Amino acid sequence: MTDRAVTDRAVGARPGSDRAGSARAGSARAGSARAGSDRIVAAEVLVTSPGRNFVALKIVTADGLVGWGDATLNGRELAVAEYLREHVCPILLGRDPARIEDTWQYLYRGVYWRRGAVTMAAIGAVDLALWDIKGKAAGMPVSQLIGGAVRDRVLCYTHATGADTAALLDAVDATRARGFQAIRVQTGVPGLGAIYGVARDGAGYEPAGRGVGPVEETWDTDAYLRHVPGALAEVRAHVGPELALLHDAHHRLTPNQAARLAKALEPVELFWLEDVTPAENQEAFRLVRQHTVTPLAVGEIFNTIWDCKDLIQEQLIDFIRTTVVGAGGVTHLRRIADFAAVGQVRTGCHGATDLSPVTMGAALHFDTWVPNFGIQEYMRHTPETDAVFPHAYSFSQGLMQPGDAPGHGVDIDETLAAKYPYDPRQLPVARLEDGTMWNW
């Protein structure tokens, strides 16, 4: 795979070349609405692995503007890279970069095979790159373009993890010392080995592993349910009432088990309990909701407004976790957020390290604009990643701000990116003790 790493060919033509010209003509023949002056002349996919894999989309316009999008789908990166290269980049050429909505509809409706993680990440990448270009053309940050900020800085949370409760309390203290006002707490479970969300060797949690196949973890829901309420109660007693605490059950429980956990955690007064049961069947949350007032968050694996329709319509959740790359960019996430506002559901964008700084930058612009904002997840990227993706956003005292650079404020150092070739990695899988495959 290394031979194809990093340098994925550019699809496109130089300003004024035949290819850009014929695409222009095609657009006019298709009867698209009044043309703007600029045109997309190149679209290029870049894969880089400065500590972990990222897929980026670069769109270049005839006016010389460059927009960057994130297309990273953890563990399935090359599927999106290839989808973009083969199916999307060629049809972007000649399009007016200012017509973001039309391009979104063109890629969503035009594909016929709607939705899905790969398609929507590809659309998300195009959308982010086009908002970046629009911002650069206007000399304005994306938050300004979508209506202007309603807040300058946004509350964010990060992760504290420990193999046991004592280690978790130490991690919480260290995280508070970095200024965080909201912390997601994950603990090891007695009798189980490595499990979701718990870092090894004091390093930041990073699930994607190297090897021929995925790492296999063993899961026991009863052991988890016996341990977690007590461990989180100890954390609450340790930190006092004010610190916001969050927890992620990562899709492991049945609706009944989820209801039991959410009820047992009520005294901990969580900011949210995340992915407490799988949400493909949105109705599953009705049972959980009927039994608890613990706030519920879901949606980091959702791709469209349809994935959360019943959850929002019936007010079965409190926070929607979908972020810009997973849900087809800023264009579609705004729709989800406006719909969520009807049910007083607030946003809480996914922000794990497997989303590139491009997603973080764009999400922060969205966060400063969105009226029904809840919180933003923030896991620090490695210094290598930060160097490859110079960015305008910053963190201070538990809050983040996107900066005021035109566009989304995240650039890519292509020369540096080329030094980190694609590094095949996979997310782990989970099995029950009897060998049954379970949700990771």
- The site for Mg ion (CB under 5 A) is made up of 248, 300
377 binds, among ligand KDG, Mg ion, none (CB under 5 to 8 A by kind): ligand KDG
Q: Could you say whether residue 77 binds ligand KDG (CB under 6 A)?
A: no
- In terms of CB distance, is 248 or 367 closer to Mg ion? 248
How far apart are CB 354 and Mg ion at their closest, in Å? Answer: 11
Per CB under 6 A, the list member of 8, 44, 127, 377 interacting with ligand KDG is 377
How far apart are CB 301 and ligand KDG at their closest, in Å? Answer: 8
- Residues 211-250, one symbol each (x = binds ligand KDG by CB under 6 A, - = not), give -------------------------------------x-x
Q: In angstroms, rounded to a whole number, what is the distance separating the alpha carbons of residues 232 and 245?
A: 9
Q: Which of 227, 247, 250, 381 is catalytic?
A: 250
Structure tokens at 224: 């988890």
24 binds, among ligand KDG, Mg ion, none (CB under 5 to 8 A by kind): none
Measured in degrees and rounded to the nearest 5, phi and psi for residue 265 equal -90, 0
How far apart are CB 383 and Mg ion at their closest, in Å? Answer: 24
Q: In angstroms, rounded to a whole number, what is the distance separating the alpha carbons of residues 358 and 154?
A: 17
- In terms of CB distance, is 11 or 198 closer to ligand KDG? 198
Task: Strands of 188-260 (E only): list them.
Answer: 216-219, 244-248
**Residue 196 appears among annotated catalytic residues:** yes
CB 407 within 8 A of CB 136: yes
Q: Which of 83, 196, 378, 420 is catalytic?
A: 196
Give a three-class secondary structure readout of 97-162: CCCHHHHHHHHHHCCCCCCCHHHHHHHHHHHHHHHHHHHHHHCCEHHHHCCCCCCCCEEEEEEEEE
**Residue 250 appears among annotated catalytic residues:** yes
Burial level of 382, CB count in 10 A (0-12/13-18/19+)? Answer: middle
Per CB under 6 A, the list member of 48, 53, 72, 74 interacting with ligand KDG is 74
CB 368 within 8 A of CB 361: no
Per CB under 6 A, the list member of 300, 318, 367, 411 interacting with ligand KDG is 300
Q: In angstroms, rounded to a whole number, what is the distance separating the alpha carbons of residues 278 and 255?
A: 8
Measured in degrees and rounded to the nearest 5, phi and psi for residue 408 equal -90, -5
How far apart are CB 326 and Mg ion at their closest, in Å? Answer: 12
Burial level of 210, CB count in 10 A (0-12/13-18/19+)? Answer: exposed
- In terms of CB distance, is 35 or 352 closer to ligand KDG? 352
- Residues 343-372, one symbol each (x = binds ligand KDG by CB under 6 A, - = not), give -------x-x-x------------------
Residue with tokens 């592993």: 209
Binding site for ligand KDG (CB under 6 A): 74, 207, 248, 250, 300, 350, 352, 354, 377, 427
Residues recognised as catalytic: 196, 250
